[in-house]
Structure 1
Amino acid sequence: KKKTKKVDQIKKCDSDIVCLQEVDHFHDFYNLEFDKMGYECIYVQKINREEGLLTIFKKGIFTLAFQNEIMFDLKIPLKLAKNHYTRNNLCQFIQLRHNYSNKQILIANTHLYWDPRCEEVKFLQASVILEYLSTQFSIKDNIFLCGDFNSMPSSNVIKFIEEKKAPNISRIENIFQKRVKMTDEVIIYDLFKQKATINLKSSYSNYQGTAQHPDFTNYTQNFKGALDYILYNTSMEDCRLIGIQPLPINEIQKELGLPNADYPSDHLPITAYYEIQTN
């Protein structure tokens, strides 16, 4: 069964914290399985949908200090056409206390809108997350933003998150579409650029010394690309990136697409290792 394989994959990774997206069957399956493995589960379900976001953490290592979520549909600026941006996506925020050092870390888990034609929707959703992180937390807090951003490293979305870059609309070919997107993305950028003060960087941004992300984290017959990220606050004082888990790129490229017998999802799990300063 696919669900059992996903649990086995997480058991094999043995991570202290795991962020999952598009999780269904939480109450009748995953909650029980992860509890048996020593994880505490924090689940938030989408409105009128059978799936949601799930963050799990090892009970012996962390204690829940705070949790919150943002429904992006409630954060659409008045200057934008509301219906176009109403997409039922959300972000989950979980603050954990590290039991051995008493240090606090914040985990944000999200799944941005899927449609590649609607980058402006994802741009708004990412901007809302950055505003929340920048206004609710300190510049030196231990902050991690994880999830499926449905956005390539070269996209306006990731460029804004990592570099605060203004949207580049030159690569949109259709004139009408360019005008609409330019207007919307520039409006969003202008609304949020002063509020998004936190500096985030992808744990995989220098994959195997290439100064680039891996070729893909999502691998299907019709699409192959890097869409998943573990971003960290570059100014945090208590946590240090010490390594990442390499992806089986060569092995996967022999396949037409995922999922298959060995990989139960069309997304590969990405893993980053951080050291918490305990002094």
Structure 2
Amino acid sequence: MAQEDYDALKYRKWIKLNQSSNNNDSNISIMTYNLLSRHYIWKHVYDQNNPKHLDWAKHRFPLINQTIRQLKCDIMCFQEMEYYVYKRFWSKKFPNDKFKSFYIQKSSAQFIPTDLTDGVGIFINTERFDILDEIKINYGQEILKNQNKYSLTNDLISRVIPRNTVGLILKLYDKKFNKILYVSNTHLYWSPKFNDVKVLQTKLLLNKLESSRKELDSTVIFLGDLNSNYDSDVVKLLRDGQLDSTTSKEFKNHKYGLNNELMDSNGIVQNPFSLRDVYETLFDNCKLHFTSFVSRFSDVVDHIFVSDDIEIRQVLGEVDPNYCASKNGKGFPDGQFPSDHIPLVAEINYKSI
């Protein structure tokens, strides 16, 4: 495929979810996209992929650039964004000079980052939004800096604190509608052996978001690669508003104390926000089979959650199942999709507009 002929939407279609408003000028487009850092191209995962489709300079980087420019959402959130590539190519005037970017790189007490180490970024269309504040959070460091707020159990010290996972929150002012939005982006720890840690990382980010949010009528957008599917405790916490750690199998044999910043005296992990996943309707109707697709794994692990004041107009649908069947299970990246994740994209607006 000639790169100038590349169309990121060739095997995906827009799905309308709500047509109550015809005012397209009020829409806000948002995206979350895991770019697949070169650092994580592990042979045992990508051994069935065509080597030319794993080539960063000649294939993946150009197609990722074209995908981002084609979608060009008002709010674009990225995971596995390498620090060097961000600073060298994406930190300024990308995808055009109307955008401003923010970034946090992964790090921990046990892990010294290099230029190849990835992080998460948020890119904002400044024609639509003013950026009022930026809040960075490294989950392990957050606990170490506020030790009196937590129960420093062996599990907290050995399982949560060493992880180098990070999150990023921006406070935005919508100049068109005089609204305040808080956008949070994260990439939770990957291993299924640490599903309890993912819940606690989510709780740490929710706490930071709650303490930073001064306007009770402001909009909240919580998204990223959560490394958690619809049956997970992470999604249950975000969707249902709470999680009982005493009955969760993921917390069995793990102790994090009670009556602290992570859980109450009954072991309940609370979500202070009322949120819904913009892709849940598609998933419930078997119209979203994966957001990440590799030879030995495919599942919905990327999510966009929004607060109750938001109406979901449309979302970018799943990859054509016929195209996926033609892959014979080899997964992405391939000639069409330059990452092992697909970008999730939604158009939303305010219910009161």
TM range, smaller chain: 0.7 to 0.9
Checking the alignment, whether the CA contact within 8 Å between 2:227 and 2:301 is kept in structure 1 is yes
- Decide which of 41, 47, 65 is 2:132's aligned counterpart: 65
2:304 counterpart of 1:230? yes
Secondary structure of 2:209's aligned partner: helix
Q: Which residue of structure 1 aligns with residue 105 of structure 2?
A: 45
2:101 counterpart of 1:101? no
Cα 1:258–1:69, aligned 2, differ >3 Å: closer, same or farther? same
User: TM-score of the superposition, structure 1-length normalised?
Assistant: 0.86
Shift of 1:139: 4.7
Q: Which residue of structure 2 aligns with residue 153 of structure 1?
A: 230
Structure 1 stretches of at least 4 aligned residues deviating more than 6 Å after TM superposition = none
Shift of 1:266: 0.3
Amino acid across the alignment from 1:134: E
Checking the alignment, whether the CA contact within 8 Å between 1:167 and 1:185 is kept in structure 2 is no
2:346 counterpart of 1:272? yes
Instruction: Give the Cα separation in 2 of the matches to 1:190 and 1:156.
Output: 17
Checking the alignment, whether the CA contact within 8 Å between 1:134 and 1:196 is kept in structure 2 is no
1:80-119 aligned at under 5 Å gives the runs: 80-81=153-154, 82-85=157-160, 86-119=162-195
Checking the alignment, whether the CA contact within 8 Å between 1:156 and 1:165 is kept in structure 2 is yes
Cα 1:156–1:32, aligned 2, differ >3 Å: closer, same or farther? same
May I ask how many residue pairs the two structures share in their alignment?
269
Q: Which residue of structure 1 aligns with residue 5 of structure 2?
A: none
Q: Which string of whole-angstrom CA distances, capped at 9 and with x for unpartnered residues, describes residues 82-140 of structure 1? A: 13212011110001111212211111010100001111110110111222233432553
- Decide which of 217, 221, 231 is 2:295's aligned counterpart: 221
Instruction: Give the Cα separation in 2 of the matches to 1:35 and 1:171.
Output: 44
2:99 counterpart of 1:36? no
Q: Which residue of structure 2 aligns with residue 258 of structure 1?
A: 332
Checking the alignment, whether the CA contact within 8 Å between 1:130 and 1:161 is kept in structure 2 is no
Q: Structure 2 stretches of 5 or more lacking a match?
A: 1-57, 144-149
Shift of 1:37: 5.5
Secondary structure of 1:214's aligned partner: coil
Q: Which string of whole-angstrom CA distances, capped at 9 and with x for unpartnered residues, describes residues 34-69 of structure 1? A: 153632111112223321111001121111111111
Bigger mean CA deviation after superposition, 71-80 or 109-118 = 71-80
Instruction: Give the Cα separation in 1 of the matches to 2:142 and 2:291.
Output: 29
Cα 1:154–1:78, aligned 2, differ >3 Å: closer, same or farther? same
Q: Which string of whole-angstrom CA distances, capped at 9 and with x for unpartnered residues, describes residues 18-42 of structure 1? A: 0001101111112246153632111
Secondary structure of 1:131's aligned partner: helix
Q: Which residue of structure 1 aligns with residue 68 of structure 2?
A: 10
User: TM-score of the superposition, structure 2-length normalised?
Assistant: 0.69
Shift of 1:14: 2.3
Q: Which residue of structure 1 aligns with residue 218 of structure 2?
A: 141
Secondary structure of 2:90's aligned partner: helix
Cα 1:105–1:179, aligned 2, differ >3 Å: closer, same or farther? closer
Amino acid across the alignment from 2:297: F
**Percent identity among equivalent residues?**
22
Shift of 1:225: 0.4
Shift of 1:265: 0.5
RMSD of aligned alpha carbons: 2.6
Larger Cα-atom Rg: 2
Instruction: Give the Cα separation in 1 of the matches to 2:207 and 2:153.
Output: 17
Instruction: Give the Cα separation in 1 of the matches to 2:124 and 2:68.
Output: 12
Q: Which string of whole-angstrom CA distances, capped at 9 and with x for unpartnered residues, describes residues 145-190 of structure 1? A: 1100001110111111111232486767xxxxx7424x44988543
Which of structures 1 and 2 has the larger relative contact order (alpha carbons within 8 angstroms, sep 6+)? 2
Bigger mean CA deviation after superposition, 258-267 or 137-146 = 137-146
Q: Structure 1 stretches of 5 or more lacking a match?
A: 173-177
Secondary structure of 2:253's aligned partner: helix
2:194 counterpart of 1:132? no
Shift of 1:271: 0.6
- Decide which of 188, 194, 200 is 2:275's aligned counterpart: 200
Q: Which residue of structure 1 aligns with residue 39 of structure 2?
A: none
